[in-house]
Each structure stands twice: as C-alpha cells, then as structure tokens.
Chain A
C-alpha cells in the first residue's frame, strides 16, 4: 500500500481538529484522575510534603492500592495537617526498581518531601532505601520483606514494617513441619522469594525435613500448570510457596483446577488478604502468616476505628495492606510531630523512639536495625467460606508478649546490620 492510498480516510479538517482537541482535553482529565503523580490535598502555599511510592500497575498493584489508601487515610484523619501546617501526599509509581529509584530521587529533588513511605516489592524498597541513605531522607518501607533491607544493606534513614522472610519462617515453619517431613518449595525469582527459599531451606536442614523439590518461578507467571504437574509427581507432604501478589491468586486457582486443593497442604508466608479474595471461595486454600486481619477481635481500638473509617469510605473492608500503609504513614507522621520539625535527623531520632501498644507487644522499630517488632498472625483458610470478605480462621498470634520478641525476630548478634551514623 502506498503512503498516499488511504490519505482520503485521514484528511484533517476543522471537525477533526476540534474532535482531537476535545479528545486531548478528555485524555488530560482522565490522566489527571488515573495517572501520576497523584497529589492529595494541594491547598495552602508551601505545605509539608510526604512522598509515597506504591505500584500503580503490575503484579502487586492491588496490594499497593490498599496500602496507598491506608497511608492517605492516616493523613486524612489528621485533617491533612502536620505541625499546624497543611500537608500533602505525592504518590509516584514503582513499575521497576530502577523507576522506583528515579521516582524517589524526584520526590526528594523536585518535591522536597520530608519523608517517603512505600515500596510494595523488596526490589523497589532496596532501591528507594539507597536514595534515602544518599539524600538523608527518612524512608518507611511498608511491605518489603527482603532480609537485606534491615540486614546487610540497612541504613540509618530506612525503617521497615513488614517482618523479613526469616521471621515469618520461624513462625510458619513449625506448622508446616506438623503437616509432614517432605516439602516442595515454589518461590518467586526475586529478592523476597529467594529469601523465603533460603529461610525454609535452612529450617528444613536443621529440623530433618526433606526437600523433594524447589522451583524458582518468574514473577507474573500466567500459567502454573506445568509447575503443579511437577509438584504432583514429587508427592510432597506440604508445598511451601513464596510467590507474590496476583501470582499466588493465579497459582491457587490452578492448584484447585488441577484437583490439588485439599490433597497436598499449601503454606505461604506474608500473604495478603486481597490475594485470597481474588482467588474466590471455591479455590482458596492454605496456611499463611499475615500481619493483620480485619476480623481479629484483638485489634486495638484505634485500629478498629481505622478499619471502620476505611470501610465507610471505600465500601469494602480494610485489608492487611491497608493497615500496613496506615501504620507506616502513622509512624512517619507521628515522628514529624514528635520531632516538632521537618529536619530529617530529628525525624529519624523520633522514629527510633516511636512505638504503639498492640496487645501484649509494644510495636516499634529496633534501634540496631530499624526493623519493626510486632505480632504476626498464623491463619488458615476456613473450611467453608460464607462471607466473601472473611476467609481466615486465626490459629495463633506470635509473639504474644515482649519476652517472645527476640525468639521470633532474632537477637542483635544475629543481625547483619551495621547501623551508620546520621
């Protein structure tokens, strides 16, 4: 076809021009609603700005949406003010770890944020952490579980809410061992998945467990059926998973489709309630660790209030990720208020002293590695699900008191973190 042959179809006239301009305007309006960056509550001049980096696309976008809403709620409940000044959140994406790093640099260089919250994936959080260290800006990682973040690559400006893979493993592995001595590991091929593989491999070696198989799965795998056929042939007693976000939803759907649900138990650490909601009651199955559950009667009153406010606003229950976003942002905002300044060093000092009582445990960041110590829940999928938002039976809350914290989270001597000075 020659380049002129269809030109009569595409001739630009006045109507087309107006239509195009209208389309552009519409696209701009849509982009401002859908796209990035999101700027919440831009009101008075020179407000205090908080940076937020959560995925808007990709395998963890659904989890990130809940985290972002939780973080925004934390500021909204303070009437969008900090230190008596207007405050606003600037939300940028993390499509790749490289983009997360660039966006962190943008938040610091262009938007002059006083701190950053976010990091849906460990790879992104590690990249943001490097920027936080270089720019000397406090960063609270909400969801990242890679051990290195508060281990070998720790720094004074980075704080982390999610317990790392080895902590989750100490909590869940004894339950898995109770189900059988032959395990199959199916973990994602990225930082957190590799930590899960390493932690469970170490536990199995120390406790007489035989690994009958261990596969690393690419993130965003659409079809797990070939992996499931391998697992079926290996005949393990338990499958230990370590796949993130939407991937676990896909896996569990296909696990059920291939008739494996109920035949071989499935267990995974640090799962999100949203992952199971996406699977549906028919296919949901497994034993998990989770940070928070909206149906837990032991949630402190302020968390129950947050959950009620969230449900009223968003017409759906708060997920564990909502709580994580809310908790991470609250820690940062509380610390700004405590520091009575936006100076990074003062905020970091305040974050190191920050803490809230949750049941028998005082949740807060350890000074020697900036890892939050907190209680974890061990949950199992209900045998019969009647409420589409209530999938779990709570089996245990660990640690249940301050004395158990070191046993679960490890001692300072075990930490690879060499904390630097401010």
Chain B
C-alpha cells in the first residue's frame, strides 16, 4: 500500500504544479490589476488550441510559441476591454471576464467545432519510467520540469529585475508607481499578458494530457480559484504550496475515497479557510481593505 501511496503522491505533484501555473497567473493579475479574471480558463484553452494548431502545421518547435501568442492575445484583451474597468466597481470586472470566458468558448466552438481534437505528447517523450513503486511518464516529467522552471524564472523576474520591482510595487500601491513617472497602463498590459502567458503555457502542457475541446477551461479554472484562495490572494508562495496540496490531496482521495475526488479540494479549502480566513499566506492588503 505504501508503494501505491508514494506513486499517487508523485502523480499528484504533476497535477498540482499544472494547477499552480494557472493559479499563479490568476494571482498576479488579481494582485496587480485588482481584477478577478474569470476568463483565465479561456486563455488556458486558447493556449492548448494554439499549441495543437502550431504542432499540427509546423511541429512541436512551433508549438512552443503558443504561450507567447496567448500572452499577446491577453495583452490585446487588456488593451481593448480590461483597462476600462480599472478603478471601477469590482462587480463590473467579474461580469466582463465571465462574459469573456463564455465568448472565447463560443469562438473556439465556432472555429474548431465542439468535438475534442486529437493531440498527443511528442513521440520522443512517449513511454514511462519506473523507479521502484513510482511510475511516471516521460512527458509528465517534462511537464513537471518545465513548470518548475517557469515558476522559478517568473519568481526571479519578479525579485531581481527592475520591471519585477515595478510590478511588486504596483501591486501594493499603483498610484504611487504612477506618480513616479512610470507608464502604468503599459505595465498593467504586460502584467495581464504575463498572467495569460502562464495560463497558455499550462494549456500547451495540458493539451496532450487532457482533452482539447472548447469546454476544457472549466476543468482548469475552478482548481485555480481554489488554489489562489487556499494560498492567499496575491501570494506567489501560497499558490505554489496550495497547488501541490490540492494535487496530492486529490490523488490520495482517488486512492481511498474515489467518489469524493472532485469534492476533496473544496473540503480542503473549507478547512483551511475556517482556520485561516485569508488563506495560508494571505496578507492584509491596504488597497483591498
């Protein structure tokens, strides 16, 4: 039994890190823009579809551009729509992004049809590895490695680059950043684009694992919200720890109580919020108090 638990835990880690990638984008967008982006799952789906198309027409090398293109789509959406909501009633943001989620799903359905499209891992990553009781596919190892790399790179970018400092400062006091002569609208566009890029990266990595269909956003957005809530809104470390927790708890529930597997993360969220209402690493943010 211990073997199986270990195997499930490793498997849960991969799932959890994929969720983290989606949740971090969501968290950054909320932290900087104050927008709860219900359309974040749609960018995840757009990333998967772009990767599928680029892979089909040009090969896997081209598919790697999918996250970047998703980020550009995100920046366009921010420029055309999202920025009109800054400083307005938060409810407007919820309504607009919810409508955007439905709109993007309908567009994907219109362009690609409702049927799922075949998309498999590259042939050179076919197969799996067994280390004692642990079984993991080569593709999932790559997913884990890419995800961890992306998270470390993004964290380093936030911590050690001048632009990262602007983002961090802007997330705490956007007005002051603007008063220092920094072009805030461009910063906000880039932040929204980065958040969407991370969702697109998760979509690209998930496409060969999950089913690429217009409704795939639903499978990504709810865990992402749960992770952001558990980790604490706007907390980078919180999102990572919460994501791993959700992945492992889900995998363990499947092992012992499969009927409860979809409810497990919500129960976990409820328990953590009862103990710590701001989430594990949630802080008191002046601008949202």
Contact = CB atoms under 8 A, between A and B. Distances in A.
Contacts of B107: 34
A35 B106 contact: yes
Interface string B106-119: 11011001111111
Interface stretch (B147-155, B235-243, B251-259, B269-277): B251-259
A229 interface: yes
Nearest to A314: B113
B157 interface: no
Contacts of B163: none
B287 interface: yes
B250 interface: yes
A278 B214 CA distance: 12
A59 B137 contact: no
Interface in A251-277: 253-254, 256-259, 274-275, 277
A226 B250 contact: yes
A280 B209 contact: no
Contacts, number: 165
Contacts of A309: none
Given A1-B175, A10-B88, A220-B218, A225 B261 contact: no
B8 A278 contact: no
B229 interface: no
A6 B170 CA distance: 13
B120 A216 contact: no
Interface in B1-24: 4, 7-8, 11-12, 14-15
B83 interface: yes
A2 B88 CA distance: 10
Contact of A246 (B4, B11, B87, B213): B213
Interface string A1-22: 1111111011000001000000
A1 B174 contact: yes
B178 interface: yes
B113 to A, nearest CB: 7
B209 A249 contact: no
A61 B214 contact: yes
A89 to B, nearest CB: 18
A217 to B, nearest CB: 7
A57 B105 contact: yes
Contacts of B281: none
B116 A249 contact: yes
A61 B216 CA distance: 11
B72 interface: no
A61 B215 contact: yes
Given A10-B88, A226-B250, A282-B120, A258 B219 contact: no
Contacts of A64: 114
B219 A229 contact: no
B213 A229 contact: no
A226 B251 contact: yes
B254 A65 contact: no
22 contacts: A2-B175, A9-B86, A10-B85, A57-B105, A62-B213, A216-B258, A218-B262, A220-B219, A221-B261, A226-B8, A226-B12, A230-B254, A230-B258, A249-B213, A257-B140, A274-B115, A274-B116, A278-B213, A280-B118, A280-B120, A282-B120, A283-B118
Interface of B: 4, 7-8, 11-12, 14-15, 34, 83-88, 103, 105-107, 109-110, 113-121, 127-128, 135, 137, 139-140, 173-175, 178, 184-185, 206, 208-211, 213-216, 218-220, 250-251, 254-255, 258-259, 261-262, 287
